[in-house]
Amino acid sequence: MQVVKALYHSGDIQLLAPLVGVEEAELVVVVLDRDGETNLPAKRFHRVPDDSEQDFKALGMAHFFDTDDDNAVDWEEVFDVPPR
């Protein structure tokens, strides 16, 4: 990953430094206001710790949750997850 400063004016983006060793790339643009701020709340960028339910959903088991089989099991106890 590289970070490159650029300027936007009238529909054109001008890179102020070259992309080193890159022939093709997908770019993500973050627009800063005049003071160099994004005006996005910092909390939005804080990672929320996963819990076992989120992990199982990420593994493609979302269809299993909120069924009778799921509700009958304390998954934290099964996997020895310490209480919060």
pLDDT in tens, 38-48: 666 555 555 66
Predicted confidence band of residue 59 (pLDDT cuts 50, 70, 90) = confident
d(CA 59, CA 56): 5
Q: What is the percent of the chain where pLDDT is above 70? A: 67
DSSP calls for the chain: -----EEEETTEEEESSPPTT-SS---------TTS-----GGGGSPPPP-HHHHHHHTT-GGGTTSHHHHT--HHHHTTPPP-
Q: What is the token pair recorded at 24? A: 């093709």
Task: Check pLDDT > 70 for residue 37.
Answer: no
Cα torsion 64, 65, 70, 73: sign: positive
Mean pLDDT in residue range 54-72: 73
52 vs 18, which has greater pLDDT? 18
